[in-house]
Amino acid sequence: MKFTQSIKLLLIIFIANICESFLSPYLIKAFINLPITFLFFSMFLYKSKTNINPFYIFLIGLFVDIISDAPFGLNSALFCLMAYLINSYSNTFKLFSFFQICLFFSVSSFFYIGITQIFMNLENFSYAVLLISLIFNTVLFITISLLRINVMAIFKT
């Protein structure tokens, strides 16, 4: 990965984290959790033409842990898991339609929300947040897919 791409990715993740921290207090009142940082990172991995070094992905996860005040290593482990899934099945994704890819990202955001809720909010764990977030994320991604909004054009590498 080139140095300019690395800086671009870190800047996009930083801005996505700021947007997520501003939107989260309003969305959580409706039991919605939208992991914008995780989704932007996942879309970057999906659009990347080459596999990215796992150590670099781990460092990006540590960067997200630091800027989002998450437990140290939580995002690193989840980012590495997502990178493994996307890199392992990159050829399979070429066969999928936009609709199936949107379902994959909504289910992956569901697992991300569930795991982060277990580690960060165990005493306030809510199945309502998981279910409503899954429905909201699925409808959002399908709407993006149907409207053919090219959000992933930002991540051309």
State the pLDDT at residue 75. Answer: 93
155, pLDDT greater than 60: no
Q: What is the pLDDT of residues 115-129, one digit of tens each?
A: 999 988 888 888 999
Separation of alpha carbons 107 and 41, rounded Å: 15
Q: Nearest CA to 89 among 101, 72, 99? A: 101
Separation of alpha carbons 92 and 18, rounded Å: 33
* Domain enclosing residue 39, as ranges: 3-155
State the pLDDT at residue 157. Answer: 54
Q: What is the pLDDT of residues 15-74, one digit of tens each?
A: 999 999 999 999 999 999 999 999 999 989 988 888 888 999 999 999 999 999 888 899
Q: What is the pLDDT of residues 65-98, one digit of tens each?
A: 999 988 889 999 999 999 999 988 877 877 787 7
Q: What is the pLDDT of residues 90-145, one digit of tens each?
A: 778 777 877 888 889 999 999 999 999 998 888 888 899 999 999 999 999 888 87
| Token code pair at residue 9 | 């990715």
Q: Nearest CA to 103 among 71, 138, 145? A: 138
3-state secondary structure of 73: coil
Separation of alpha carbons 77 and 64, rounded Å: 11
State the pLDDT at residue 148. Answer: 67
User: The whole model's pTM is what?
Assistant: 0.86
Q: How many domains does the chain have?
A: 1
